[in-house]
Copies of this chain bind each other. A is one copy, B any other.
Amino acid sequence: MFLERILAPRHEAHAHCDLFCGVYDPAQAMVEAMSCLKIAEKYHASDDPVFRDRAIFIKEERAELVKHHLMVLWVDFFKPHHLEQFPDLHDLFWRAMKAAGEAKKSMDVEVQQRLVDLVEEVSNVFWQTAESQNAGVYPPS
């Protein structure tokens, strides 16, 4: 069952965890990034000016949430020892968060897709860490 796999290692984990690690999962950033992508697609498919206006400010909020969720992963989940495993970590997050800024400014579908791709890169890095086994909820299948 779905939840079993998630819950199984969690109880064991607490013994080894002296931090407030909480629950972390790039799924949160990805859902919002996918939302940005879909909004841009629908913007171009519509000629209703109210719809298009709403698309602009709703995407702004979604992209801001991507930024926020990425910041939480970068600052709270990742620890100094991860820099050895992923020397590019800071730059990856910088590019991903800057891409969220670009995603706000543009209605271009390609710009949104780039954000989705960078969130996927972050996701790949996250799931390669040992700690993700206990912190993450939606492991890639």
Copies of the protein in its oligomer: 6
Residues of chain B within 8 A (CB-CB) of A23 are 31, 34-35, 38
Residue among B41, B57, B120 making CB contact with A3, cutoff 8 Å: B120
Do A60 and B67 touch across chains, with their CB atoms under 8 A apart?
no
Contact string against B for A residues 12-50, beta-carbon threshold 8 Å, 1 for contact and 0 otherwise: 001000001011010110110011001101100100001
Is the contact region of chain A dominated by helix, strand, or loop, or is it mixed? Answer: helix
Contact B28 A42 (CB under 8 A): no
On chain B, the residues within 8 Å of A116 by CB distance are 3
Least CB separation from A39: chain B residue? B22
- Nearest chain B CB to A109's CB is how many angstroms away? 10
Minimum-distance CB pairs A-B, first 7: A141-B141, A90-B90, A23-B35, A75-B97, A27-B27, A138-B138, A2-B140
Which residues of A are interface residues toward B (Cβ below 8 A)? 2-3, 6, 10, 14, 20, 22-23, 25, 27-28, 30-31, 34-35, 38-39, 41-42, 45, 50-51, 53-54, 56-58, 60, 67, 71, 74-76, 90-91, 94, 97-98, 100-101, 104-107, 116-117, 120, 123, 137-138, 140-141
